[in-house]
């Protein structure tokens, strides 16, 4: 597993808006730290990347995934929203793709995610460690100043204010009764948001 995202149990226990804002602002700080790191951040994905874990891919500079991974943004099924996907993710994926992913919570295979632009390379599971090691060695052989400037200039138009607004809205949603009830059902194993809709049902709508 790469990351299943935010701790639903921790979110369920958030009792006030202030607690909720503090919780999610820390997540935004981590994402900003990855984006603003002067060195390239390479992400190696095995297993699943869901919710906040999938959003983390948007902050990394190069994403290499094994061919058996799956990715989803299932927040909508819990009465929540993916704050970084619908803000920072627009620059990487475009408005329509972002809306589709956020509204449907669809599960994507590694190749589907690569076609959308979430993943840069899809490789065999048994080869991924060596491939990522070689990639890191290649990046390390390049002049640091060039790498830093490429990162800085290519990300210069990210809208952190909009991302903060989205984080604030998520903080409000997570303390609402409907979200609490859906999280409770998930914790009890009665609800699986990642499988909210099949590919067939989406096409039939």
| Residue 195: pLDDT over 60 | no
Residue 15 lies in a domain: yes
Average pLDDT over residues 200-205: 41
In a domain, 196, yes or no: no
User: Is residue 191 over pLDDT 50?
Assistant: yes
What's the rounded mean pLDDT across residues 192-203?
49
- H/E element holding 18? helix 17-36
For the chain, how many structural domains are there in total?
A: 1
Residue 140 lies in a domain: yes
Sign, CA torsion 73/108/114/134: positive
| Residue 108: predicted pLDDT | 93
| Confidence band of 194 (pLDDT split at 50, 70, 90) | low
132 within some domain = yes
pLDDT, tens digit (0-9, with 9 covering 90-100), for 47-95: 889 998 899 999 999 999 999 999 999 999 999 999 999 999 998 899 9
**What are the residues whose beta carbons fall under 8 Å from the beta carbon of 156, sequence distance 6 or more?**
none
Residue 95 lies in a domain: yes
Mean pLDDT for the chain? Answer: 89
Predicted confidence band of residue 187 (pLDDT cuts 50, 70, 90): confident
Q: Is residue 198 part of a domain?
A: no
pLDDT at position 188 is 84
Instruction: List, for residues 113-152, the tens digit of each pLDDT value.
Output: 999 999 999 999 999 999 999 999 999 999 999 999 999 9
Separation between Cα atoms, residue 19 and residue 92, nearest integer Å? 30
pLDDT at 201 over 90: no
Tokens at 67, concatenated? 């061919």
What pLDDT is stored for residue 204 in this prediction?
43
Give the range of the structural domain holding residue 100, as residue numbers without chain letter.
8-191
* Residues 164/51, Cβ–Cβ less than 8 Å: no
CATH number where 126 lies: 3.90.226.10
Q: Tell me what the mean pLDDT of segment 5-21 comes to.
A: 86
Task: Flag whether 185 is in a domain.
Answer: yes
With a cut of 90, say whether residue 15 has pLDDT above it. no
pLDDT of residue 193: 62
In this prediction, residue 189 carries a pLDDT of: 80
For the entire predicted model, the pTM comes to 0.85
Residue 90 lies in a domain: yes
Q: How far is CA 133 from CA 38, 127, 165, 180, in A?
A: 19, 10, 37, 42
């Amino acid at each position: 597993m790469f990351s299943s995202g935010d701790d639903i149990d921790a979110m369920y226990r958030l009792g006030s808006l202030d607690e909720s804002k503090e919780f999610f602002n820390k997540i935004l700080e981590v994402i900003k730290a990855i984006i603003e790191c002067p060195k390239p951040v390479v992400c190696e994905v095995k297993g699943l990347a869901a919710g906040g874990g999938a959003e983390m891919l948007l902050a990394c500079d190069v994403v290499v995934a094994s061919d058996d991974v799956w990715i989803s943004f299932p927040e909508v099924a819990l009465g929540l929203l993916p704050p970084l996907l619908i803000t920072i993710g627009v620059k990487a994926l475009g408005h329509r793709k972002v809306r589709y992913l956020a509204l449907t919570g669809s599960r994507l295979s590694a190749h589907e995610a690569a076609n959308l632009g979430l993943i840069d390379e899809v490789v065999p599971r048994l080869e991924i460690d060596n491939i990522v090691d070689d990639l890191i060695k290649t990046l390390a052989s390049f002049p640091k100043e060039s790498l830093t400037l490429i990162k800085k200039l290519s990300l210069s138009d990210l809208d952190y204010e909009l991302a903060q607004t989205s984080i604030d809205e998520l903080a409000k949603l997570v303390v609402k009764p409907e979200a609490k009830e859906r999280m409770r059902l998930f914790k009890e194993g009665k609800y699986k948001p990642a499988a909210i809709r099949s590919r067939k049902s989406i096409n039939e709508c």
